[in-house]
Structure 1
Amino acid sequence: MQKVLVTGMGMISAIGKNLSENHQSLRSGVTGIGKAVHFESQYASKLPFGECGISNDRLKEILGLEDSVGYTRTCLLASKAFEEAIEDAGLTARALSDPETALVSASTVGGMCLTDQLYEDANLKSSGSEYLDAYGCSAHTLKLIERYKIRGFTDTINTACSSSANAIMLGARLIRSGRAGRVIVGGVDSLAKYTVNGFNALKILSESACKPFDENRDGLNLGEGAAYLVLESEGNAAGKKVYAEVAGYGNANDAYHPSAMSDEATGAIRCMREAVAMAGVDPGEIGYVNAHGTGTNNNDDVELFGMKELFGQLPPFSSTKSFTGHTLGAAGAVEAIYSILSIYYSELYPSLNISNPMKAYASPLIKFEEKRPVRYVLSNSFGFGGNCTSLLFRRAS
């Protein structure tokens, strides 16, 4: 089977408008969680968020979309990260339109970031806005297909917080099976009243910056962002810069509860084991785990229990959601890129805000570490409904 290599990456998050800025913030321990400026909600002044520090108008200006119609913030964030990824990989217009080039994207919110406008349109309280075709999860994907004239296989995945991790997994499967030579994978989500109100109803939003794996953790912060990776077969990647290899992946669903994981970590353990087994490595060879680490009581307990079952002695681990907030459908791709940066630059990125690490398990990383070569990094993404995905990245040989 073909190796799956990462030849390009692009992203925008609360800690940077591009890959370089995100990397520098990780190295410097700079969080993006704070007061939202562009998000309009009654909670904007009450709760911290991981908001991208750039307006829609500025995004349109950067992308040359000033005269565009029907571009929601979700579409704009996706376009920004996608454009950086394809430029990083050196993809030409011809390569993008090649039938061997596929696109698999992901989102949970989609165009529902325009919650109020959606309500107006759906209840015939408007004359019909420019966003009538933009509310679905796949709207941003369709915009990318149209703008970049993509003719190969395309798909949009929505499995809640594991959405873009599953997009990466599907892209890797397409290449390994010979169904595509190149797949652009990733996901996007933007802040929305729809999701903020929903998470608030679950009583899991923290009133302060989240502190995953701390004894006194009290919930998560919602964030927004977009991230895309260019995956290529060995043949297509010849002569290119290669960041890492997608060496393994696993997906499982414990079907335990709509918004909680099972205490036995059934899905989490199985997907991690599948990823490790596919890569043909021993769990002890994993040098770092980018944990799902939301900062909620259920997630952090269950994830560490599952990791303990798999590893015995835990490798270094942390949650980069303490930098960006929980970016929902984008989280799997955002954290995949952070995992790959860890491999590529021989660095380990910390969990922020921890003052009292969870006592039942090994302590997470709380300081940035450089010159720490790691060959394998595991990235976990666990979604509502128990949809659990793990991705295993290997240093390119």
Structure 2
Amino acid sequence: MKRVLITGMGIITAIGDDLTENHTSLRCSKAGIGEAFHFDSYYKDLLPFGEVKLSNADLLSAANLTRHSGYTRTCTLALKAFDEAIRDAGLSQEELSSWGTALISASTVGGMCITDQLYQDANLKASASEFVDSYGCAAHTLRLVERYNIKGFTDTINTACSSSANAILLGARLIRSGRANRVIVGGVDALAKYTVNGFNALKILSSAPCRPFDENRDGLNLGEGAAYLVLESEDIAKGKKCYATVAGYGNSNDAHHPSAMSDNAVGAILSMSQAIKSAGIHPSEVDYINAHGTATANNDAVETYGLTEVFDQVPPYSSTKSFTGHTLGAAGAVEAVFSVLSIYYSEIYASLRVETPVQPFSIAPVARYRSDSPVNFVLSNSFGFGGNCTSLVFGKIGS
């Protein structure tokens, strides 16, 4: 099967408006979780969020759009990261419009980020707004298709927190099987009353910056962002800058509970084992794990147990959600970008604010940024509601 190479990346999160800013924040252990300024919610002054620093007006302006274009914040975040990724890969319009170029994106919130306007339109409280066709999960994907004249296969995935990891998985499979030469993969989610109220009802939001894998963790912080990666088959990527390979992937479902993982980590263990096996490596060859690490009581205990079952000796691991908050449908792609940066620059990023590791396990996450750390393979975990578990293995070029 064809090797899948990563030739371009674009990202926007609470720790940076582009790839360079995100990388700098990771190196400096600078988190982006705090007070929200652009998100209008009852909980705005009660809870911390991983909010992107650019306002809606800033994002529209950057894309040369006006409010009357019907673009939601979800759409403009996607556009910002997507545009950076294709520029980073040096793609021409001809290449973007090629039938061999596919687009697979992901989102859980979609256009519901403008929850109040959705309520008005859905209940006929006013004349139909400019956003009537923008509420669906796939609205941002359709905007990208229209703007960049993408003619190849397109799809939008919603499997909760594993959504954009599954976009990467599907994109890699399309290339490996010869069904596409190039696939642009990723995901996006914006902060929304819809999701904040929902997660608050589950009683898993923390009133302080989150502490993944800490014994005294008390919940997650919601964040927003977008990330896209350009995947290309080895035969068309010759001569290009290549960050890493998509070496392996695994997906499973433990079918245990709508919003919790099974205590015996059956789904997580299976997805990690599948990813490592499909990469053709031994678990001992994984140099770093970018864990799902939401900072909820259930996830961190189950994931830690799963790691001890898959690995005889658990490699360095951390949760970069301690920087960005949980970006939901964007999380898999955001953390894929961070995993690739780890390989490309030989460094490992910290899991912030850990004081006492999760008990009864004796393995603590990486507490400080590490440079000059040889990283050949990274395992990135994304575990979604309903037990949809996806693990990806990224490899160093030449490994």
Relative to the length of structure 1, the TM-score reads 0.99
- Give the structure 1 partner of residue 296 of structure 2: 296
Give the drift of 1:312: 2.2
Residue segments in structure 2 that go unaligned for 5+ positions in a row = none
Partner amino acid for 1:14? Answer: A
Partner amino acid for 1:181? Answer: N
- Give the structure 1 partner of residue 378 of structure 2: 377
- Give the structure 2 partner of residue 356 of structure 1: 356
For residues 3-18 of structure 1, the aligned pairs below 5 Å read: 3-18=3-18
SS at match of 2:339: helix
- Give the structure 2 partner of residue 222 of structure 1: 222
For residues 41-52 of structure 1, the aligned pairs below 5 Å read: 41-52=41-52
Give the drift of 1:37: 0.2
- Give the structure 2 partner of residue 326 of structure 1: 326
SS at match of 2:338: helix
Which string of whole-angstrom CA distances, capped at 9 and with x for unpartnered residues, describes residues 361-390 of structure 1? 201000000000110000000000000000
Q: Structure 1 residue runs of 4+, over 2 Å off?
A: none
Give the drift of 1:35: 0.2
Give the drift of 1:236: 1.2
For residues 113-262 of structure 1, the aligned pairs below 5 Å read: 113-262=113-262
What is the CA–CA distance in structure 1 between the aligned matches of 2:377 and 2:229, rounded to whole Å?
18
Which string of whole-angstrom CA distances, capped at 9 and with x for unpartnered residues, describes residues 61-88 of structure 1? 1111136511000000000000000000
Which string of whole-angstrom CA distances, capped at 9 and with x for unpartnered residues, describes residues 251-273 of structure 1? 00001000000001011000000
What is the CA–CA distance in structure 2 between the aligned matches of 1:382 and 1:359, rounded to whole Å?
21
SS at match of 1:374: coil
Which string of whole-angstrom CA distances, capped at 9 and with x for unpartnered residues, describes residues 4-60 of structure 1? 000000000000000000000000010000000000000000000000000011111
What is the CA–CA distance in structure 2 between the aligned matches of 1:188 and 1:300, rounded to whole Å?
24
What is the CA–CA distance in structure 2 between the aligned matches of 1:8 and 1:170, rounded to whole Å?
17
What is the CA–CA distance in structure 2 between the aligned matches of 1:253 and 1:68, rounded to whole Å?
41
What is the CA–CA distance in structure 1 between the aligned matches of 2:238 and 2:218, rounded to whole Å?
47
Relative to the length of structure 2, the TM-score reads 0.99
- Give the structure 2 partner of residue 58 of structure 1: 58
Which deviates further from its counterpart, 147-156 or 353-362? 353-362
Query: Structure 1 pair 67/261, CA: closer, same or farther in 2 (3 Å)?
Result: closer
SS at match of 1:103: strand
- Give the structure 1 partner of residue 368 of structure 2: 367
What is the CA–CA distance in structure 1 between the aligned matches of 2:111 and 2:98, rounded to whole Å?
28
SS at match of 1:197: helix
Answer yes or no: is the 8 Å Cα contact 2:300–2:358 preserved in 1. Answer: no
Aligned positions, number = 397
- Give the structure 2 partner of residue 103 of structure 1: 103
What is the CA–CA distance in structure 2 between the aligned matches of 1:293 and 1:145, rounded to whole Å?
33
Give the drift of 1:295: 0.1
SS at match of 1:132: coil
What is the CA–CA distance in structure 1 between the aligned matches of 2:111 and 2:121, rounded to whole Å?
13
SS at match of 2:236: helix
- Give the structure 2 partner of residue 387 of structure 1: 388
Give the drift of 1:360: 2.2
What is the CA–CA distance in structure 1 between the aligned matches of 2:22 and 2:255, rounded to whole Å?
34
Partner amino acid for 1:53? Answer: K
What is the CA–CA distance in structure 1 between the aligned matches of 2:325 and 2:97, rounded to whole Å?
35
Q: Identity of paired residues, percent?
A: 68
What is the CA–CA distance in structure 1 between the aligned matches of 2:331 and 2:67, rounded to whole Å?
30
1:32 pairs with 2:32: yes
Which string of whole-angstrom CA distances, capped at 9 and with x for unpartnered residues, describes residues 312-361 of structure 1? 21100000000000000000000000000000000000100111122322
For residues 276-295 of structure 1, the aligned pairs below 5 Å read: 276-295=276-295
SS at match of 2:390: strand
